[in-house]
């Protein structure tokens, strides 16, 4: 089955162009746009890990190593499309237009972090595995029934394909030909369980056969392969040709979350032969004359400044109203919660 779904690449690990049919489309402008977004989200990611280690935000799921998969796919979206992320796809949502300050607030336990900018159709991050998939299919179906050409792009990991929501979503999308792009980031592990122990399928892509949905397997660290493959799937969905399943084979360099120790279940040598997606793009840009030290330095300085400003805004935001936990759930507050609220109010008076 691996032979039926070979991994599609446009550039190799050294940044050399493999598929010349894309040569004219691999412009300097596209290279810089992708590099900027990838460097930007990596800067965010590393800062978030640092903040968690300092106790300034809560548990955080890093995504370093998956920047090409997240940026390349999100960059292909249109302004009015939908995005349904997992808890690890903040790089994709930032690329699509999510607010960075609110993103830090989300990982600081603030409800404001779930609110997208005005006009952006970004679903709140789904922490339960695969629950966002039926939601994405439903949104896509609604767009189809309304007669728009908007699509829904839904992210999920390899472990999600073992959940019922994945199969229900693909089945519904296949039956009703919804404009949905299913984007799987296969990083080899479903938390601590290696790919081969959570599914007997040789690939994720082959799972689409049961639902008669087109699928493709791509190199998730090749930002060009990700961008153009996702764009083609989106274009097909807009034209009424139905859903596509994309399997982006990638590698997450760090832990599942900052509360995790991957050395307990991931052999040390795994991933050492994987070329960093940013380094791979850099090699391409240098080989084909797109690299400019001054432009790159400007990108890096801009991203660093944006991240530091977002952290400052997050930490200077007004404190949340604890009453919100009590006031907006029940029509009539149950006695045990009413007692908790009174106890908290008494605590505040004592502290003041």
Q: Does 32 participate in catalysis according to the annotation?
A: no
Alpha carbons within 13 angstroms on the beta-carbon side of residue 206 total 12
Tokens of 100: 């960075």
| DSSP letter for each residue of 5-47 | SPEE-SB-TT--B--GGGGGG--HHHHHHHHHHHHHHHHHHHH
Q: Do the Cβ atoms of 74 and 113 come closer than 8 Å? A: no
List the catalytic residue out of 252, 280, 283, 290: 252
Separation between Cα atoms, residue 255 and residue 253, nearest integer Å: 7
Q: Does 256 participate in catalysis according to the annotation?
A: yes
List the catalytic residue out of 42, 88, 256, 280: 256
Alpha carbon distances (Å) from 177 to 122, 164, 232, 322: 22, 19, 16, 44
Alpha carbon distances (Å) from 87 to 107, 114, 309: 10, 11, 23
Q: Does 252 participate in catalysis according to the annotation?
A: yes
Alpha helices, DSSP H, located in the chain: 28-53, 67-74, 90-96, 100-107, 132-146, 164-176, 195-198, 223-238, 277-287, 293-316, 324-327, 335-351
Alpha carbons within 13 angstroms on the beta-carbon side of residue 98 total 33
Active site residues: 252, 256, 265
């Amino acid at each position: 089955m691996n032979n039926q779904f070979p991994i599609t690449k446009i550039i190799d690990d050294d940044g050399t162009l493999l598929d010349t049919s894309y040569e004219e489309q691999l412009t300097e402008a596209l290279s810089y746009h992708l590099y900027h977004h990838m460097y930007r989200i990596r800067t965010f990611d590393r800062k978030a890990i640092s903040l968690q280690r300092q106790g300034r935000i809560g548990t955080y799921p890093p995504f370093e190593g998956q920047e090409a998969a997240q940026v390349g796919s999100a960059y292909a979206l249109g302004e009015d499309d939908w995005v349904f992320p997992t808890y690890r796809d903040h790089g994709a949502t930032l690329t699509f237009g999510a607010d960075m300050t609110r993103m830090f607030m989300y990982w600081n336990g603030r409800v404001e972090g779930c609110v997208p900018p005005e006009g952006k159709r970004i679903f709140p991050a789904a922490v339960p595995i695969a629950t966002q998939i039926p939601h994405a299919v439903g949104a896509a179906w609604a767009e189809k029934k309304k007669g728009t050409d908007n699509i829904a792009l839904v992210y999920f990991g390899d472990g999600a394909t073992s959940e019922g929501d994945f199969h229900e979503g693909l089945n519904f999308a296949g039956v009703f030909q919804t404009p949905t792009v299913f984007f799987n980031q296969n990083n080899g592990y479903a938390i601590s369980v290696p790919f081969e122990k959570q599914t007997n399928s040789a690939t994720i892509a082959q799972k689409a056969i049961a639902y008669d949905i087109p699928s493709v397997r791509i190199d998730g660290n090749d930002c060009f392969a990700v961008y153009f493959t996702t764009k083609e799937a989106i274009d097909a969905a807009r034209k009424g040709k139905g859903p596509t399943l994309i399997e982006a084979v990638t590698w997450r360099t760090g832990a599942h979350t900052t509360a995790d120790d991957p050395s307990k279940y991931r052999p040390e040598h795994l991933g050492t032969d994987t070329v960093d997606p940013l380094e791979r793009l850099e090699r391409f840009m240098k080989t084909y004359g797109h690299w400019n030290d001054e432009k790159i330095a400007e990108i890096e300085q801009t991203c660093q400044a944006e991240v530091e400003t977002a952290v400052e805004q997050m930490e200077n935001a007004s404190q949340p109203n604890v009453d919100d936990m009590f006031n907006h759930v029940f029509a009539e507050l149950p006695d045990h919660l009413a007692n908790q609220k009174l106890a908290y109010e008494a605590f505040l008076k004592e502290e003041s």
